[in-house]
């Protein structure tokens, strides 16, 4: 699964599929800490964390990137889920001193990738986050480091054109599919409408990317999440795979294996076209099925998934 960008090149991506919710107020930290899987109370100013929001049954409604700027918190999640998650969380604010605003229309999310991405960021903004998940503020943008060669920029919509023009002096604008491939190959899942309430956090490896705190108190689904961890009841995990199918691969597609017959053995979480042909996918599959390498798309006689390594150990 080779990257299609040449070494040293830098790419700019417009991540229009992402939405934003802004939380402010004296009780924002306490409120979010009691609703989300990640350690909001332990999230320092200028840092980010992955996390999830679950039902009472421990099923993931949405996962996100959360960061703190001063006393405010910003939640980035798929745009299709921003409005419903904003509405659902707002129902529980009640008398708490918290304001939740859907900021998706007022801000733009950009991605920068490549070996020289850090230098480009420093050249355009005068600074770049130096540590993974570090967040820094420029005059008119939030800068987040997600990997050694991958950054996000969150800026007010009115500043987007100027920022993009400055970045394009050093980076080639590329479609968002390249960013999506990097996310998939990094093992970062995104729950979307077809996969809501299908998985507990561990099934999509959220515990392996720092999105689940096992030391914090109650939040919706906490008992199920903790029981899954401490009792070792997890039978499915998320894996990286290639599927030699050029069209029609979507999140929510069912997977099958001989050992389970007509019963589904898994589901596609995310999929994107590969430059080498077919699709790169993240798929939740029964562990026993992956060990046999016998997992097929949509039917027992459908195309077989070819599994590859993730950058972290799946256990």
- For the domain that residue 286 is a member of, what is the CATH number? 2.40.30.160
Q: Is residue 91 within a helix (H) or strand (E), and if so which, with residue range?
A: helix 79-91
Of 185, 212, 238, the residue that ends a domain is 185
Task: Report helix angle 160-168 to 117-125, nearest 10.
Answer: 130
Both tokens assigned to 38 = 């990640």
* 227 within some domain: yes
Pick the last residue of a domain from 128, 153, 185.
Answer: 185
The domain in which residue 273 lies consists of: 200-308
pLDDT at 236: 96
pLDDT of 8: 56
Tens-digit pLDDT profile for the chain (315 aa)?
445 554 458 999 999 999 999 999 999 999 999 999 999 999 999 999 999 999 999 999 999 999 999 999 999 999 999 999 999 999 999 999 999 999 999 999 999 999 999 999 999 999 999 999 999 999 899 999 999 999 999 999 999 999 999 999 999 999 999 999 999 999 999 999 999 999 999 999 999 999 999 999 899 999 999 999 998 879 999 999 999 999 999 999 999 999 999 999 999 999 999 999 999 999 999 999 998 889 999 999 999 999 999 999 997
Number of domains, the chain: 2
pLDDT score for 77: 98
- Residue 115 phi/psi, 5° resolution? -60, -35
Model pLDDT, residue 1: 41
Is 1 inside a domain boundary? no
Same domain, 171 and 207: no
Residues 223 and 168 reside in one and the same domain: no
Contact 93, 33 (CB under 8 A): no
- Check whether residue 28 and residue 132 sit in a common domain: yes
Chain mean position to CA 9: 24
Boundary-marking domain end, from 185, 211, 243: 185
State the pLDDT at residue 200: 98
Task: Identify whether 194 is part of a domain.
Answer: no
Residue 56 CB coordination number (10 Å): 11
Are residue 151 and residue 294 in the same domain, yes or no? no
Please report the pLDDT score of residue 27 as a whole number. Answer: 98
| Residue 5, pLDDT score | 53
Residue 171 covered by a domain: yes
């Amino acid at each position: 699964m080779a990257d299609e960008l040449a070494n040293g090149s830098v790419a700019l991506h417009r991540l229009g599929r992402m939405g934003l919710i802004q939380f402010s107020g004296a009780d924002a930290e306490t409120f979010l800490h009691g609703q989300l899987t990640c350690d909001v109370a332990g999230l320092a100013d200028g840092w980010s964390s992955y996390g999830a929001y679950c039902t009472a049954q421990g099923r993931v409604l949405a996962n996100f990137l959360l960061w703190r700027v001063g006393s405010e918190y910003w939640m980035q999640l798929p745009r299709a889920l921003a409005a419903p998650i904003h509405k659902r969380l707002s129902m529980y604010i009640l008398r708490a001193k918290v304001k939740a605003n859907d900021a998706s229309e007022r801000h733009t999310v950009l991605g920068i990738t490549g070996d020289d991405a850090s230098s480009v960021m420093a050249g355009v903004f005068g600074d770049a986050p130096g540590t993974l998940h570090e967040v820094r503020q420029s005059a008119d943008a939030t800068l987040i480091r997600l990997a050694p060669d991958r950054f996000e920029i969150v800026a007010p919509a009115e500043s987007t054109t100027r920022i993009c023009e400055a970045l394009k002096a050093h980076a080639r604008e590329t479609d968002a599919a390249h960013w999506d491939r990097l996310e998939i190959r990094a093992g970062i899942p995104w729950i979307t409408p077809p996969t809501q309430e299908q998985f507990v956090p561990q099934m999509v490896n959220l515990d392996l990317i720092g999105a689940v705190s096992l030391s914090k108190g109650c939040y919706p689904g906490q008992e199920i999440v903790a029981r899954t961890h401490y009792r070792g009841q997890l039978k499915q995990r998320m894996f990286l795979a290639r599927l030699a199918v050029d069209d029609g691969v979507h999140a929510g597609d069912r997977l099958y294996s001989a050992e389970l017959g007509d019963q589904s053995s898994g589901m596609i979480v995310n999929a994107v076209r590969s430059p080498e042909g077919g699709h790169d996918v993240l798929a939740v599959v029964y562990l026993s099925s992956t060990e046999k390498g016998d997992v097929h798309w949509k039917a027992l006689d459908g195309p077989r998934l070819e599994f590859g390594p993730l950058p972290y150990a799946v256990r």
